[in-house]
Amino acid sequence: MLELRPNCECCDCDLPFDADNALICSFECTFCAHCAQTTLNGKCPNCAGELVRRPRRPSEKTQRFPASTTRVHATK
C-alpha cells in the first residue's frame, strides 16, 4: 500500500492524501507538480526514475488506511 507522503521532498509544500498535484517515482519519493516540472525535469533526483501522478486514496478509506504523517525533505 502506498504511504501517501504528506509533502514535497523538494520544496516541502503540503500534499494531502487527495492532492491532485502530487507525483511519485517507483520508490514513492514524492514531489509537487511544480517542482517535478521545473526543478526536476520529470525525473526523481534519488533514483532517476520517472515521476507520475500519485493515485488518490478515497476519503472513506483513509480512516482504515491513513496516509503517512512522516515528512520527508531531501537535501540536494
Output the pTM of the full model: 0.89
Q: Burial code of 25-42, b = ≥16 C-beta within 10 A, e = fewer?
A: beeebbbbbebbeeebee
pLDDT digits (tens, 9 = 90+) for 2-48: 999 999 999 999 999 999 999 999 999 999 999 999 999 999 999 99
pLDDT digits (tens, 9 = 90+) for 35-67: 999 999 999 999 999 999 999 999 899 999 999
d(Cα 49, Cα 71) in Å, to the nearest integer?
Answer: 21
Domains located in the chain, CATH noted: 1-76 (3.30.40)
* Whole-Å CA distances, 61 to 10, 24, 26, 56: 28, 20, 22, 10
